């Protein structure tokens, strides 16, 4: 079995998608549909914008979503048997498996960006996120509770990315305090991330409520293949279940570790990362070194066109 895996926010890069736009007619069509739908040329930001412009939430999330959907739809060599997305990547996964239309997926991502930014700006405290590598999940869970109790600064799990690799989220002061403590306690890495906001935590409750109303009004179709969702790590094909999980998605931790285990246990032997880099590919390879993991950019559909194009450029 083959799975397409879609990374989330953070994989944006300057010039992303320009090679696809210029080499694949299908890519050009999808990018222009997005420009028309948004009423602005998001492709100008993606292809020619600065890193700072791409980091603006209103640009980041639609750009990552578009790149991933276009990348998946512009090749004919690999057909997935399942899809899974990390955080924002779940929206691209739901378009690729036919659960959401292209425009509906884009609309949800745009609203997710706008509403999430508003929730961040209106949070009662300044919030942020931090990456912790090299400590067990149980130890991190115990310590963030202790640090919360000691300081009064709320800290939550946001992402379970892999064994010994998690993201915490909460007040900026709490995240900084926890990262400092973890480094002193043997972590390989514990750093605050350049992300404003406390995504996948109760700080996003107002965003979940507002975005949830939009999700409820969106048409969900029976997908062609299962999607492993972030909130429970299980495969789903029922549109109502998928819709309900997507509403909880914004305040619930991303269970990527369990998602990977479940896909492998269900028979997935080939993982293809649909994104600009190899972030998820590396995580899966560390967890299951015997399984096949690679970027979708490395399949034959792209090797000659895109890679040669990049070399010439």
CATH code, domain with 29:
3.40.366.10
What Å distances lie between residue 86 and 64, 77, 102, 170, CA to CA?
Answer: 12, 23, 18, 19
* H or E stretch covering 222: none
The pLDDT of residue 311: 42
Same domain, 56 and 11: yes
Of 167, 197, 227, the residue that ends a domain is 197
How close are the terminal C-alpha atoms of the chain, in Å?
36
Same domain, 105 and 221: yes
Structural domains of the chain, count: 2
Is 87 annotated as catalytic? yes
The single residue of 87, 169, 171, 198 carrying the catalytic annotation is: 87
What Å distances lie between residue 260 and 104, 229, 269, CA to CA?
Answer: 27, 11, 11
Give the single-character DSSP code of 254.
B
The pLDDT of residue 304: 63
Same domain, 103 and 149: no
Q: What is the CATH number of the domain that holds 159?
A: 3.30.70.250
Q: Range of 302's domain?
A: 2-121+203-312
The pLDDT of residue 307: 53
The pLDDT of residue 32: 96
Contact 32, 82 (CB under 8 A): no
Of 197, 216, 247, the residue that ends a domain is 197
Same domain, 258 and 115: yes
Same domain, 155 and 250: no
Helix (H, G, I), strand (E, B) or coil at 256: helix
Is 200 annotated as catalytic? yes
The pLDDT of residue 44: 92
Same domain, 98 and 224: yes
Same domain, 216 and 78: yes
What are the tokens at 281? 């590919």
The pLDDT of residue 303: 65
Same domain, 158 and 138: yes
Q: What sign does the CA torsion over 132, 54, 309, 26 have?
A: positive
Same domain, 221 and 110: yes
Of 143, 168, 197, the residue that ends a domain is 197
57-73 helix and 89-96 helix, angle to the nearest 10 degrees: 30
Same domain, 257 and 110: yes
Contact 36, 85 (CB under 8 A): no
The single residue of 63, 171, 198, 200 carrying the catalytic annotation is: 200
Same domain, 221 and 295: yes
Per-residue pLDDT of the chain (313 residues; tens, 9 = 90+): 999 999 988 777 888 889 899 888 999 999 999 999 999 999 999 998 888 888 888 888 999 999 999 999 988 788 999 999 999 999 999 999 999 999 999 999 999 999 988 888 888 888 989 999 999 999 999 999 999 999 999 999 999 999 999 999 999 999 999 999 999 999 999 998 877 678 899 999 999 999 999 999 999 999 999 999 999 999 999 999 999 999 999 999 999 999 999 999 999 999 999 998 888 999 999 999 999 999 988 887 666 665 554 444 4
Same domain, 256 and 219: yes
């Amino acid at each position: 079995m083959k799975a397409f895996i879609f990374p989330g926010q953070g994989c944006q890069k300057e010039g992303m998608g320009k090679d696809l736009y210029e080499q694949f007619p299908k890519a050009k069509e999808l990018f222009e549909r997005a420009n028309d739908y948004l009423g602005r040329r998001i492709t100008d930001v993606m292809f020619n914008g600065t890193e700072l412009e791409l980091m603006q939430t209103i640009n980041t999330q639609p750009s990552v979503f578009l790149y991933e959907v276009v990348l998946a739809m512009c090749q004919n060599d690999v057909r997935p048997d399942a899809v899974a997305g990390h955080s924002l990547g779940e929206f691209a996964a739901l378009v690729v498996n036919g659960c959401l239309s292209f425009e509906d997926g884009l609309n949800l991502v745009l609203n997710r960006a706008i509403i999430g930014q508003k929730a961040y700006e209106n949070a009662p405290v300044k919030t942020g996120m931090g990456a912790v590598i090299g400590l067990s999940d149980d130890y991190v869970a115990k310590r963030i509770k202790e640090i919360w109790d000691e300081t009064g600064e709320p800290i939550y799990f946001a992402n379970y990315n892999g064994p010994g690799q998690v993201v915490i989220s909460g007040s900026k002061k709490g995240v900084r305090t926890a990262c400092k403590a973890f480094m002193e306690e043997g972590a390989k890495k514990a750093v605050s991330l350049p992300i404003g906001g406390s995504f996948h935590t109760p700080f996003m409750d107002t965003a979940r409520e507002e975005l949830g109303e939009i999700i409820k009004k969106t048409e969900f179709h029976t997908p062609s293949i299962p999607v492993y969702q972030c909130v429970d790590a299980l495969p789903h094909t029922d549109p109502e279940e998928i819709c309900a999980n997507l509403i909880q998605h914004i305040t619930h931790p991303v269970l990527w570790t369990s998602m990977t285990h479940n896909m492998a246990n269900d028979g997935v032997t080939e993982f293809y990362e649909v994104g600009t880099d190899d972030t998820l590919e590396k995580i899966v390879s560390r967890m299951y070194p015997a399984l096949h993991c690679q970027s979708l950019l490395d399949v034959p559909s792209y090797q000659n066109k895109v890679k040669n194009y990049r070399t010439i450029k």
